[in-house]
Amino acid sequence: MTSFVLGALAALALGGLGWTAVALRRRLLQSERERRRVADELNRRLSELFSLQELSYVLSESLELERIVEQVVRYAMRFLDARGALVALASDGHGDARSLLIAGAEGTLVGLRGQTVPTDDPGLVARSLGRERLEVVQGADSAPTHLAGGVEAGSAAAVPLRAHGVVVGTLVVAEPRAGVFPAADIRLLSTVATHAAVVLANARFFELVRRAKEQWETAFDALSEGIAVVDDEGRMRRANRALALLLGAPVAEVVGQDLGAALLGDSPALGELLAAARRGQRPVPSPARRPSTASSSSSRTSPISRRWRPS
């Protein structure tokens, strides 16, 4: 009887040890799987971080809209391992007058480059312009999705490019090589779109400023009256051709000279006008005559008409 009890206890002990060993092994395997998952997630996040850092560096190299669009398209294709991508920029119109210009496209979507898409087009490109968030069409078991201009894709993701509350365009990535877009890729695409939208908005603003500057310079130089932009000390920072002709010197030599001395010699009249203008007072026009000099003795003496522009 005693030997039977001892045998039973030994069997129970062995069974308990076996069960403990199995449970411990399961925990070790589960812990190893969790460790690998965390390591993979960390590696993926680091890869995304380095990719975004690389994209930010590339986008900061230029404010040219064409180059920015080109880089965004290429990096989006590479990051998401897709066969095609495009960036469509919205026009400055409103309502029905607004349209989308496909400014950049690569891969399977390269045929759409340069095409204009109306905002009422039923395709994904135009549709995404009015959406608040990213739209994903996973076409594994469904019909291809119409993008624009007769081009279709089995799987595609489109995200509006929104910066400072304004949608400047849309980024579309199509045909991932894996067939579908993993959740991690969708998150990465949203981050890429955020970076791209800010840079594109800044580039468009820079382009507007550049065009306005060119228009101002053209109008400034075309005026028949002599005009100068002066600093606080009365030195000319910019002069038009009419003023340079009046002073009898090239524009490049006129810039940097004291306007009062160049026009009126030692007369304080111009200095008083500038001082009044800086005080916010409306200066009273004061006709004056330019003193004759050796360099301008051949020119006839005439009243000086001058417009003042704050520096």
| pLDDT of res. 275 | 78
Identify the CATH assignment for 223-296 out of 1.10.10.10, 3.30.450.20, 3.40.50.880, 3.40.50.720: 3.30.450.20
Q: Amino acid identity, residue 202?
A: N
| pLDDT of res. 300 | 32
Q: Strand pairing partners for 117? A: 100
CB atoms within 10 A of CB 79: 21
| DSSP 8-state class, residue 49 | H
Please name which of 241, 269, 270 lies closest in space to residue 253, comparing C-alpha atoms: 241
Going from the C-alpha of 223 to that of each of 147, 211, 241, the distances in angstroms are 50, 19, 8
Q: What is the pTM of this model?
A: 0.62
User: What are the pLDDT digits (tens) for 275-301?
Assistant: 777 777 776 666 656 555 434 333 333
pLDDT: is 3 or 232 the higher one? 232
Q: Amino acid identity, residue 70?
A: E
Lowest mean pLDDT of 43-47, 149-153, 236-240, 305-309, name the range. 305-309
Per-domain boundaries in the chain: 56-214, 223-296
Going from the C-alpha of 50 to that of each of 57, 150, 199, the distances in angstroms are 10, 36, 18
| pLDDT of res. 78 | 87
Return the ∠ at Cα 248 (arms to 242 and 254), rounded to 5°: 75
| pLDDT of res. 298 | 31
Over residues 36-53, the mean pLDDT reads 61
User: What are the pLDDT digits (tens) for 129-150?
Assistant: 878 788 888 765 667 888 888 8
| pLDDT of res. 40 | 60
User: What are the pLDDT digits (tens) for 85-130?
Assistant: 999 998 876 655 578 899 999 999 999 999 998 888 888 888 888 7
| pLDDT of res. 23 | 72
Mean pLDDT of the chain: 77
56-214 and 223-296 share one CATH topology? Answer: yes
Residues contacting residue 199 through CB under 8 Å, at least 6 positions apart: 59, 60, 68
| pLDDT of res. 80 | 86
| pLDDT of res. 68 | 87
| pLDDT of res. 304 | 36
pLDDT: is 212 or 60 the higher one? 212
| pLDDT of res. 216 | 86
| pLDDT of res. 2 | 66
| pLDDT of res. 54 | 67
Whether 39 shows a pLDDT value over 60: the answer reads yes
User: What are the pLDDT digits (tens) for 71-83?
Assistant: 889 888 888 889 9
| pLDDT of res. 184 | 83
Q: What superfamily would CATH give domain 56-214?
A: GAF domain (3.30.450.40)
